[in-house]
Structure 1
Amino acid sequence: MDAIQPGAIDPAKLDALIGRAIGDLSAGYGGVMLSLGHRLGLFKAMAGAGPLSARELAARAKCAERYVREWLNSQVAGGYVAYHAISDSYELTPEQAFVLANEDSPAFMPNAWNVPASMWADEAKAEVAFRTGRGIPWGDHDGRLYCGVAGFYRNAYRGSLVPEWLPALDGVVGKLTSGARVADIGCGHGHSTVLMAEAFPASTFHGFDTHRDSIFEAQKVAAEAKVAARANFTVAGAHNYPGKGYDLICFFDCLHDMGDPIAAATHAAKSLAPDGTVMLVEPFANDRVEDNISPVARLYYAASTMICCAHSISDGGRLVLGAQAGEARLAEVFRKAGFTRFRRAAATPFNLILEARL
């Protein structure tokens, strides 16, 4: 490798890049602290309690004071906990509690750190995949991936699915209210299925996923929510799940993971009732790479590299969309599957909510 000439480096650009790298490294360290604070119940012990000393928090959370003090100082340095120097006390503000302590909040973040933890654990598998071109099936990842994805998306869906996304679809809420058949493809732990079942007691819901352990977990989630009589879960793929005449077929953040998304869309077309609807929820993305330069896009491209593309390749890889497919590519998938109507029904900084009809 040729030596880089000193004159070729712009000091201001170098300083900015080093600053970004240090910020990223700090965030990685901080993520471990956030996850640990959640696991130990430290954030919950602080929520609504007002200013607390390190000793008081340690007693509340049944932890060792010296560790708690150092952990608290890391949270203060990162802006996640307020510090009162005069009283040497620490406080979780209402906003901080909403993000860090309230597990039902749509902005609750600690569970999400399980995903990068799983990515680090799977680094050696990813290295082999890069060198060989082979895929990594969803079920072969570190176990923290599944609870991290489920926990992160559960709260996003809780805040938006029933009050915002379903009403954005033409006539769907009316059907669900009067009684409809719904298929949730790639349902994972079943949180999306259960949320709909809770909201629409006249309808029946069928969740399908190829990951057996996730189906077992979904059955538990439905039982705990007391909707198991109307929300059942079966191990099945997106191109061969049973049943016909579904009024609504949902793909929540999963179509881009599939090895043959056109086959999945084609099976949905065959499984729909007359005048049925497909609801496609996908990670937010613009159609061009140069328009996807943001922290959210970076997060999604990284997850897509390690998880989404890797699974799609393992699943045959006929069309590897990736998590940043964009609306135009997704519309083309459904056009090839025979759908004649495709539109953006809603959008958030994290998701595109798309509607397809025959």
Structure 2
Amino acid sequence: MDQIKNNTIDAAKLDLIVSRAIGDLSAGYGGVMVSIGHRLGLYKAMAKAGRISSHQLAAITGCAERYIREWLGSQVAGGYVIYDAASHSYELPAEHALVLAQDDSPVFMAAAWAIPASMWADEDKALDAFRTGAGIPWGDHDGRLYCGVASLYRNAYKASLVAEWLPALDGVIEKLKAGALVADVGCGHGHSTALMAEAFPSSRFRGFDSHQESLDEARQVVATAGGTERVTFETARADAYSGSDYDLICFFDCLRDMGDPLAVAKHAARTIARNGTVMLVEPYAKDGVDDSISPVARMYYAASTTICCAHAISDGGHIVLGAQAGEKRLAEIFRKAGFTRFRRAMATPFNLVLEARL
């Protein structure tokens, strides 16, 4: 306070950072409301109802009206719901429903709030990791992390993987249609595996992950989608999975989590077919910290701090890439592993889609 009185603080700069902090705090509070709305089915009910009162929404969802009324107030204040004062009714616009109510939409984000919830739940582990330098294995996180991550990636993959990303790779679609052998390394819940298997019935797919609980879920995902006779899953490290002569080896949003990505790339070089392709999908990032200033980069850096880097350190920490490694560092890893061709196949606001060949 003395600094402010003595005019050593720029009041405009102070107002700006205070406003930013309040906005962030408001978003954190709002995230709790979004998660509640998602888990209670409030958004889904509103998406089908048009204009609706708090009493009607409470009756439809079986919730207490007084809580519903206050929750709706938070949604209006946050710009998620429109309020009509004349009729005392609320409405979820169709565009908002794509983000908050339709869980198969490519921009659905309501379930993704499970990720920061898990980060808060794991705060003591993160504090200890900061102080000791120890890692945090993927399997040691709060359980909400896995469902949140799967939800965030699943719909993006559904919208883009077969329609856009695979066609951006040289000659891969033709191989998949004819019948290829594919390794999905770090497959997690298997949504990427299932999507490819459904789209290319002549090809065979092997999913690998070191987290057994995720593979249990992956088998259920594939069983629901069909094509189980052409898909297998195996518990294995990314630098030691079985098989050879893979026409396509995929790393979907996972290389950054691995303790020795160079060893992983070298194993891919050993197991790939002569004219095979590595498909690497990582978060969109430029090559310098000063070039990565955006809401998306901030989100990725935060997750990288407590999840990606933490797991890589627990996995040996030989090379800890982080979620904002950038194309240049990723290319260097694959060139050191023996790949002679590395290029950006395409990019989105959230992802880099990269291609490597021997």
1:167-225 Cα shifts (integer Å, max 9, x gaps): 00000001101111100000000001101111111111111000010000000101111
Letter paired with 2:194: V
Letter paired with 2:146: Y
SS of the residue corresponding to residue 233 of structure 2 reads strand
Matching of residue 332 in structure 1 with residue 322 in structure 2:
no
**Structure 2 partner of 1:321:** 321
Matching of residue 105 in structure 1 with residue 120 in structure 2:
no
CA distance in 2, matches of 1:284, 1:246: 26
Which structure 1 residue ranges, 4+ long, deviate > 4 Å from structure 2?
Answer: 2-5
CA distance in 1, matches of 2:130, 2:193: 35
Matching of residue 51 in structure 1 with residue 63 in structure 2:
no
SS of the residue corresponding to residue 247 of structure 1 reads strand
Letter paired with 2:53: S
CA distance in 2, matches of 1:166, 1:78: 37
TM-score by length of 2: 0.98
CA distance in 2, matches of 1:209, 1:3: 56
**Structure 2 partner of 1:234:** 234
Listed as ranges, the gaps of 5+ residues in structure 1 are none
1:251-291 Cα shifts (integer Å, max 9, x gaps): 00100110000000000011111100000000000001100
Deviation at residue 4 of structure 1 after TM alignment: 4.3
TM-score by length of 1: 0.98
CA gap 1:201/1:72 in 2 versus in 1, 3 angstroms: same
SS of the residue corresponding to residue 286 of structure 1 reads coil
**Structure 2 partner of 1:157:** 157
Give the percent of matched residue pairs that are identical in Structure 1 and Structure 2. Answer: 70
Asked if structure 2 preserves the Cα contact closer than 8 Å seen for 1:343 and 1:355, the reply is: yes
**Structure 2 partner of 1:40:** 40
Deviation at residue 48 of structure 1 after TM alignment: 3.1
CA distance in 1, matches of 2:89, 2:229: 50
**Structure 2 partner of 1:296:** 296
1:106-131 Cα shifts (integer Å, max 9, x gaps): 10001110110000000000111001
SS of the residue corresponding to residue 207 of structure 2 reads strand
Letter paired with 1:128: D
Deviation at residue 241 of structure 1 after TM alignment: 0.3
**Structure 2 partner of 1:16:** 16
CA distance in 2, matches of 1:79, 1:71: 13
**Structure 1 partner of 2:200:** 200
Deviation at residue 7 of structure 1 after TM alignment: 2.0
Aligned counterparts, 1:340-355, within 5 A: 340-355=340-355
Figure out how many residues of one structure are paired with residues of the other and give that number: 357
CA distance in 2, matches of 1:228, 1:15: 58
Letter paired with 1:93: P
SS of the residue corresponding to residue 287 of structure 1 reads coil
What is the alpha-carbon root mean square deviation over aligned residues? 1.0
Asked if structure 2 preserves the Cα contact closer than 8 Å seen for 1:48 and 1:92, the reply is: no
SS of the residue corresponding to residue 273 of structure 1 reads strand
CA distance in 1, matches of 2:2, 2:138: 42
